[in-house]
Amino acid sequence: MGYFYTIFARFLASLGQGVGGQVSFSMAGIFLLSLPVCFSFSAYTMAILHKKFAVVLWVSIAIALFLTMILGALFSYIYTKVSKDSFTVLCLGSILAFDAFVRSFDSLTGGVLGISGILRPESIRTLPALVQFSFLVLTVILVAHYLVLKSPMGRKIRAFKEHPVALQAFGVSQKSVISFVIIGGSLLSGISGLLEVFRIQFLDPSFGGIPNLIVLVSISILALKPKVKAVLLASVLVVFLPELISFLDFPSALLGHLRVLLYSVLLIVLIYTISGKSQFQKREI
């Protein structure tokens, strides 16, 4: 039973990040590859505040999420300054930069050994309680996502991808849309990072990173349509499908690499399949 709770908890964390990825990748066309950085950053900030500076846990969580939004605002600023290609490469570089920072600043982050013994809040101390809490949080996120999709902001985000100049001609600030998407996506990644770190109760430099990016991009690409159902189904497929290899008789040392290989092949197939669809082709104007 513990295995299913664990998988479900992973699914809920991935779903939260997937919502942020769907809004940025599929709806806004912003290739926000820095979401794994926000995922790790919020977890590390909470752990450092609580364990090193003895800040109350819920206050640590609130401060971590606030600082993650600040980080998102920084990425939003960079997006407005550089070209799309440069931004995408800088986002990839930020994953390595954050990893380097975490490994180097070992007095704060524990370096390569990481931070262990991260306690969950009192009210969600057991795994089933954490899963229930995660379910509640994700329900709120999905309802908010549905409301945003149906609102004028949702239309502005889709318009930003199709024709940003026309959007501006209607008096909508591109910067406001960019900020909303990037800061919102960063916040959702931060929430997912906290849920995930409470599940594993341990942090090291490998938390988040490229494997997290691959899962996130797979969900975002699969959840092409701007619908809540799309991101739900995408998360189910991406999280549960590779679990099938756990039931095959492979040495445990190879399972991690097999999973990553499966994700990368899945992502290539997905991108090939959807690259001809209208959402990734610019309308001829």
Partner 1 sequence: MEFVLQIILNSIVLGTQILFLAISLFLIKAVSKIEHVSLGAIGVAVAYMFYLGQTLHVGVWFSVLLSLLAATLLGLLSYFLLEKFCKNNQILLALLVSLSFGIGIESVIALVFKSGAKNIIDGVLPIMSFAGITITLPGLYTLILGVLLVIITYVIVKKTPAGRILRSISENQSLVATLGVNQKRVRKMVYIISSIIAGMVGILLAMNTSLTPTLGFTYIMIAFIALFVGGPTDIRGTIVASYIIILIPEFLINFAPANMQFTSSYRMFFIFVIACIVLSIKPRGIFSKTVRQT
**Residue ranges binding partner 1 (CB under 8 A):** 31, 78, 81-86, 88-90, 92-94, 96-97, 99-101, 103-104, 210, 214, 217, 221, 254, 257-258, 260-261, 263-265, 267-268, 271-272, 275, 280-281
Residue 81 or 283 with smaller CB distance to partner 1: 81
Cβ of residue 232: shortest distance to partner 1, in angstroms? Answer: 22
Distance CA 233, CA 218 (A): 12
* Smallest separation (angstroms) from partner 1 to the CB of 284: 12
Report in angstroms how near the CB of residue 125 gets to partner 1 at its nearest.
Answer: 35
Q: Which is nearer to partner 1, 99 or 196 (CB)?
A: 99
* Cα 132 to Cα 6: distance, rounded to the nearest angstrom: 12
Query: Residue 107: which residues within 8 A CB-CB, separation 6 or more?
Result: none
Contact of 18 with 76, CB cutoff 8 Å: no
Nearest approach in angstroms of CB 47 to partner 1 is: 20
Q: Which is nearer to partner 1, 56 or 254 (CB)?
A: 254
Q: Which is nearer to partner 1, 78 or 236 (CB)?
A: 78
Long-range CB pairs of 170-173 (<8 Å, 24+ gap) are: none
Q: Residue 82 or residue 166: which is nearer to partner 1 going by CB?
A: 82
Closest approach, Cβ 36 to partner 1, in A, equals: 12
Residue 202: enclosing H or E segment and its boundaries? strand 202-203
The residues, ordered by sequence, that sit 6+ positions from 68 with a Cβ below 8 Å of its Cβ are 38, 41, 42, 45, 186, 187, 189, 190, 193
Strand partners, 203: 115
Q: What minimum distance in Å lies between the beta carbon of 133 and partner 1?
A: 32
Do the Cβ atoms of 195 and 109 come closer than 8 Å? no
Nearest-angstrom CA–CA distance, 3 and 19: 24
Neighbouring C-beta atoms of residue 272, cutoff 10 Å = 9
Please say which residue, 93 or 152, places its beta carbon nearer to partner 1: 93
